[in-house]
A and B are shown apart, each in its own frame.
Chain A
Amino acid sequence: MREWLMRLRDWMRRDRLDAELDEELAFHRAQLERDAVAAGATTDEAAWTARRRLGNTRRVKGDSRARWAIPALDQFAQDVRYAVRGLRRSPGLTAGVVITLALGLGANTAMFGVVDRLLFRAPALLRDPDTAHRVYGFRTRRGTEEVGGVDQYARYRDIERWTHSFSAVAGFAPRELVVGTGDDAREMRVAVVSPSFFGFFEAPPVLGRYFTEAESKPGEAPVAVLSHGMWQTHYGGRHDVVGTALQIGSATYTIIGVAPRGFVGLWEERPPAAFISLTDYAANESKVGGAVWTTYSWGWMSTIVRRKPNVTLAAANADLTNALVRSYEAERLEDPSAPPLAATRPHAVAGSIIEQRGPRSSSDTKVATWVGGVSVIVLLISCANVANLLLARALRRRREIALRVALGVTRRRLLGQLLTESIVLAALGGVVGLGVAHWGGAALRAFLLEKNEAPAGIFDARTVWFAAAAALVVGLLTGLAPLVQATRAQLTSDLRAGARDGSYRSSHTRTALLIGQAALSATLLVGAMLFVRSLRNVEQFRLGYDTDPVLIVGMNARGVALDSARMVALRHRLLDAAKSVPGVESASLQSSVPFWNTRSYQLFVEGIDSVARLGRFRYNSVSPEHFATLGTRVLRGRGVTDEDTPTSPPVMVVSEAMGRALWPGRDPIGQCVRLRFPTAPCRRVVGVTENIQQEDLGEDPGYYYHLPAAQASPQVGGLFVRARGDGRGLRETVRVRLQREMPGAAYVTVTPFSEIVGSEKRSWRLGATMFTAFGALALVIAAVGFYSVIAYDVAQRSHELSVRVALGARARDITRVVVEQGVRFAVAGIALGLGIALLGAQRLQPLLFKQSATDPSVYAGVGVILLVAAIAACVAPARRAVRADPSIALRAD
């Protein structure tokens, strides 16, 4: 091995070694001559003696040179030079191929970076990822099996206690908690973990230590470990940080250590600022009190396990299920009303440590997988395209190749050269593709890994290796067709006819490639159009309120006790403060936020036995500005006004659907509803609003009503703030202004409404953007492919076409011949592609919003677009054929 490395090094500096050997031999000869002269010889005799003693220097040089020659490498270098020369001679083709491959490879490299992160890569610093698992529980509820039931602290302890297949069990829960006090208070990701969690990683603290089992027992003083990033940004990396106090959530923690750089636990997309223990978090933030340790009713965390080396996955799963069943039995002892095990049928598996890869994969993951597949199709299209171009080139070089074979070039050498050429092209495409991936990748990551705070590193080693491997495969793939062509070379006929036009013949391989390209583009375009329509449906879907300009303000008292009256006063102070912020259009009080939380009362309406049986009725206690702030339309009657006071007659505003459900066929305005008790005072309906979407897009909006905040729980809830334009820009300004009004350690949180609802729309937007981008890319590549192939065919047929012109064919006839051929290919490809799309439609359906995956208008539209593109691609070559002077083509022979 070492010797070969030496040889390789010598090969690279072989010219210098040659010169050195010459010098060495000259020195030797000079010494011998000097000796001979010293012994009394004449100059001529001395020269002769020296030559005799030195021997045949030509053979010496030859033998030495063999030591640093590597013939295969020489040949390869020669092939590369030859390929580069050839490619430089046809810059148009080279540029076309490189750009096509760069787009295909770039798209794939960028996608790989994302898909790898979502689906394949193990968390950073995780020790031995193959034996680290997350525990997924399954239980049956009302006849259907669902994932869940292992998220309680007591369950985690049970699993730890009753299993024996694992060397370590750890619990964790990522939380958003306010860190710091006063103006510095910020909501940050805090990792709530058991002490055993750290042992899963190869990440010794850079400062201080991690917390121990003894420290994370109920009653111990709370301790925290800072993340490296937090330590650097908030403490400037100071070493005396250990021992200082830090407010996290509602308790004060003592900092005992700092985690190493790059240690983010399992949360690469949102690295934690600090690590605190499960017990400290549960003791300070839970609302269940001392029952935290034993209750099975508070689910809030996850469990990971480390499989012992000799335990199989099946054995581990059986062990886990066993423990889970015992735990469910224990739960039944604590709470006899829990359903029996025969009904819940609990079982557990040790699955992927990344939740998105487990049984509960997110729709982002699904879309990313689809888009990954799509990018591979784009690459296939560009491969087909390039193969076609190279094949055309090989056909054009038939005569040259035949000549070289006749001159004695071995087939092996010839094939090597052709392959080298396509690999050189692919390598160039790969390099340019990395650039494409870099620029395109930034956009891609922004879409696919939104909220990602991890440093952008599209050029990590894995991605570059992937790009290199993909380029090599592409080089081999695209080289295949010309190779086959070259091995079929018919020496005599090729030499005689050469590349001359009389011998035009169509190539089945090229036709197949062309049709394949068109088919794949058609499939992609169908996907793109379906996603675009689906997105349009999402965007146009009326929620019953605006989201983009709206900010949600939440309040957290954090230990500050305020009675009702002071709460009401505080809320109104905040409301006034919010309205005073420049750029704020209006603000209002709210007690609940759609897509976030809900509130409901039991309702009583005359003539209806059980209102609850009709469905769920949710309410929001709002101030008069609410409808303007949220943009909710009042269809009839009025909204809440300043006249609605605690002493005025009680009123409510109902949604359209609610009015129709409670009083079908009658006018809801003026009707009476009693809240909570059948004997409560009559509350009159004074207005009707549009329907309010409360959760999941696309589901039935349900029933909704508004109450005046002055009349119903005025002390509960936060604010809505409407900005001019996008609300996100005002987020921090509003937060800082409102925080000034908060007493003591209490704090406010400000969240853009679009972030809450937007995450619901994200996977649709994602699919639409990606499919459109890749679909457009595929269309461009396929159109270029069509153009080049048709143009080439026309050039090949110029003899035949000239004969036609000479025999009296008109321009129209020539155009028709050329375009007809292109259209025939296109139609075949489109038909095939639409067929493939129809087959895949069923699997795509769940990702679409109110859009049929087999919508005929989409299919027809794609067919038309592709056909137009194909005709456009044929027109230029056809016109060239028409304009060609037949006498030139005919005389060329």
Chain B
Amino acid sequence: MATTSKRELLPGTLDMLVLKTLTVQPMHGYGIAQELQRRSREVIRVEEGSLYPALQRMRQKGWIAAEWRQTPNNQRARYYTITRAGRRQLGEQEAGFADLVSAIQQVLGSA
């Protein structure tokens, strides 16, 4: 069932989701993809490769920081950490998104 009801992401929400994911702990790209799937109960499915350009963009904007570390299995992986600017950005995006959702629901509800 889960596999049949997969949804494309709304445009512009990937950043917010990634940032939110990173508030828990620093993660590598694979970890972020896993966590997104797990938290959305398999509903949200991104093409996992597309995470990487987004991560680079956010790094350049200063929202996240990247660092090479060893995984628990002793492999080398790049871990991303959310920065203070990233948390601020996340707050703004969340508020904006909430406004948008409630507006959409009002339109849908009034129809």
A residues within 8 Å of B by Cβ? 2-3, 6-7, 10, 20-21, 23-25, 27-28, 31-32, 53-57, 59-60, 63-64, 66-68
* Cβ–Cβ < 8 Å partners of B29 in chain A: 24, 27-28
Tell me which residues across on chain A come within 8 A of B61, comparing CB atoms.
3, 6
Q: Are B47 and A55 in contact (CB under 8 A)?
A: yes
Determine whether the beta carbon of B52 is less than 8 Å from that of A10. Answer: no
Report the 3 A-B pairs with minimum CB-CB distance, sorted nearest first.
A55-B47, A63-B53, A60-B49
**B46-90: contact bitstring with A at CB < 8 Å (1 yes, 0 no)?**
011110110011011110000010000001111000000000000
Residue in A7, A27, A59 whose beta carbon sits within 8 Å of that of B30 in the complex? A27
Alpha-carbon distance between A597 and B28 when the two chains are bound, in angstroms: 89
Residue from A23, A31, A56, A67 within 8 A of B49 (CB atoms): A56
Query: How many angstroms between the C-alpha atoms of A57 and B29 in the bound complex?
Result: 14
Q: A27-B76, A28-B30 are in contact. Are A67 and B56 (CB under 8 A)?
A: yes
User: B85-108: which have CB < 8 Å to A?
Assistant: none
> B53, A54: Cβ atoms under 8 Å?
no
Q: Is the pair A60, B30 in contact by a Cβ cutoff of 8 Å?
A: no
Pair B52/A60 contact, Cβ less than 8 Å: yes
Chain B CB within 10 Å, residue with most, of A10, A23, A28, A59: A28
Evaluate contact between B78 and A24: CB separation under 8 angstroms.
yes
If A31-B30, A54-B48, A54-B49 are given as contacts, then 13 extra A-B residue pairs at C-beta distance below 8 Å, sorted by A number, are A20-B78, A21-B56, A25-B49, A25-B52, A27-B28, A27-B77, A28-B29, A28-B49, A55-B48, A60-B49, A66-B53, A67-B57, A68-B60
Residues of A contacting B28 with CB < 8 Å?
A: 24, 27-28
- List chain B residues, Cβ under 8 A from A53: 47-48
A-B contact count (CB 8 A): 68
Complex CA gap A28/B75 in Å reads 11
Also in contact, A55 and B57, with CB within 8 A (given A3-B62, A31-B30): no
B48 surroundings in chain A (CB, below 8 A) = 28, 32, 53-55
Complex CA–CA separation, A23 to B29 (angstroms): 12
From A2, A20, A60, B53 is in contact (CB under 8 Å) with: A60
Could you list 8 examples of A-B contacts with CB < 8 Å? A3-B61, A24-B52, A25-B49, A28-B33, A54-B47, A55-B47, A56-B47, A63-B50
Among residues of B, the one whose C-beta sits closest to the C-beta of A24 is B78
Q: With contacts A28-B29, A28-B30, A31-B30 known, is A60 near B77, CB below 8 A?
A: no
Chain B 6-50, CB within 8 Å of chain A: the 1/0 string? 000000000000000000000011100100000000000001111
Interface majority SS (helix, strand, loop, mixed), chain A: helix
Question: How many residues on the B side are at the interface (Cβ–Cβ under 8 A)?
Answer: 21
Q: How far, in angstroms, from A24 to B27 measured CA to CA in the complex?
A: 12
In the bound complex, CA of A797 to CA of B53 (Å): 60
A64 and B76 in contact, given A6-B62, A7-B60, A32-B30 (Cβ under 8 angstroms): no
Contacts of B77 in A (CB 8 A): 24, 27
A3 near B49: Cβ-Cβ < 8 Å: no
Complex: how many Å from CA A53 to CA B56?
A: 20
A23 to B49, CA, bound (A): 13
Q: List, in ascending order, chain B residues with CB within 8 A of A24's CB.
A: 28-29, 52, 77-78
Q: Contacts of B49 on A, CB cut-off 8 Å?
A: 25, 28, 54-57, 59-60
Contact B60 A67 (CB under 8 A): yes
B38 CB → nearest A CB, Å: 13
Q: How far is the CA of A25 from the CA of B28 in the complex (A)?
A: 11
Residues of A within 8 A of B76 (CB): 23, 27
CA distance A568 to B68 in the complex (A): 92
Q: Which residues on the B side are within 8 Å of A59 (C-beta)?
A: 49
- The answer for the CA separation of A28 and B48 in the assembled complex, in Å, is 9
Closest beta carbon of chain A to B58's beta carbon, Å: 10
A765-B38 Cα distance, complex, nearest whole Å: 88
Q: A24-B77, A31-B30 are in contact. Are A3 and B50 (CB under 8 A)?
A: no
CA distance A63 to B53 in the complex (A): 6
**How far does the alpha carbon of A424 sit from the alpha carbon of B60 in the complex, in Å?**
31
* Contact of B62 with A67 in the complex, beta carbons under 8 Å: no
B50 touches A55 (CB 8 A): yes
Query: Which of A2, A21, A24, A60 has the most C-beta atoms of chain B within 10 angstroms of its own C-beta?
Result: A24
CB neighbours (8 Å) of A20 from chain B are 68, 78
| Interface pair B47/A10, CB less than 8 Å apart | no
Inter-chain CA distance A881–B48, complex, in Å, is 72
Whether A3 lies near B60 (C-beta < 8 A) is: yes
Q: In the bound complex, what is the Cα–Cα distance between A218 and B82 (angstroms)?
A: 71
Residues of A with C-beta under 8 A to B30: 27-28, 31-32
A60 surroundings in chain B (CB, below 8 A): 49-50, 52-53
Alpha-carbon gap, A33 to B30, bound state (A): 12
B contact residues around A66 at 8 Å (CB): 53
CB distance from A670 to the nearest CB of B (A): 102
Which residue on chain A has the smallest CB distance to residue B61?
A3
Which residue of A has the minimal Cβ distance to B62?
Answer: A2
Inter-chain contacts of B59 with A (CB < 8 A): 6
Residue numbers in A under 8 Å from B47 (CB-CB): 53-56
Compute how far the CA of A31 lies from the CA of B102 in the bound complex, rounded to whole angstroms.
38
* Complex Cα gap A53–B37 (Å): 12
- What residues of A have a CB within 8 angstroms of the CB of B57 in the complex? 67
Contact B52 A21 (CB under 8 A): yes
Report B-chain residues with C-beta under 8 Å of the C-beta of A55: 47-50
Return chain A residues, CB-CB under 8 Å to B53.
60, 63-64, 66-67
> Which residues of chain A come closer than 8 Å to B56, judged between CB atoms?
21, 64, 67-68
Give the residues in chain B near A28, CB-CB below 8 Å.
28-30, 33, 48-49
Given the complex of chains A and B, what is the CA–CA distance between A224 and B49 in angstroms?
76
Which B residue's beta carbon lies closest to that of A61?
A: B52
Chain B residues near A25 (CB-CB < 8 A): 49, 52
Residues on A with beta carbons closer than 8 Å to the beta carbon of B60: 3, 6-7, 10, 67-68
Query: Least Cβ distance of A21 to chain B in Å?
Result: 6
Residues of A within 8 A of B68 (CB): 20
Measured CB to CB, the closest approach of chain B to A888, in angstroms, equals 61
Which of B50, B57, B60, B62: most chain A Cβ within 10 A? B60
CA distance A60 to B53 in the complex (A): 6
The chain B residue with its CB closest to the CB of A59 is B49
Q: How far is the CA of A463 from the CA of B59 in the complex (A)?
A: 39
Nearest-neighbour CB distance to chain A for B52, whole angstroms, equals 5
User: What is the CB-to-nearest-CB distance from B15 to chain A, in angstroms, rounded to a whole number?
Assistant: 14
B32's nearest neighbour on chain A, judged by CB, is A28
Q: What residues of A have a CB within 8 angstroms of the CB of B62 in the complex?
A: 2-3, 6
CA distance A68 to B28 in the complex (A): 20
| Shortest beta-carbon distance from A384 to chain B in Å | 46
CA distance A23 to B28 in the complex (A): 12
Q: How far is the CB of B65 from chain A (nearest CB, A)?
A: 11
B-side contacts of A54, CB under 8 Å: 47-49
Shortest Cβ distance from A7 into B: residue: B60
Give chain B residues whose Cβ lies under 8 Å from the Cβ of A31. 30
Instruction: Give the chain B neighbours of A10 by CB distance below 8 A.
Output: 60
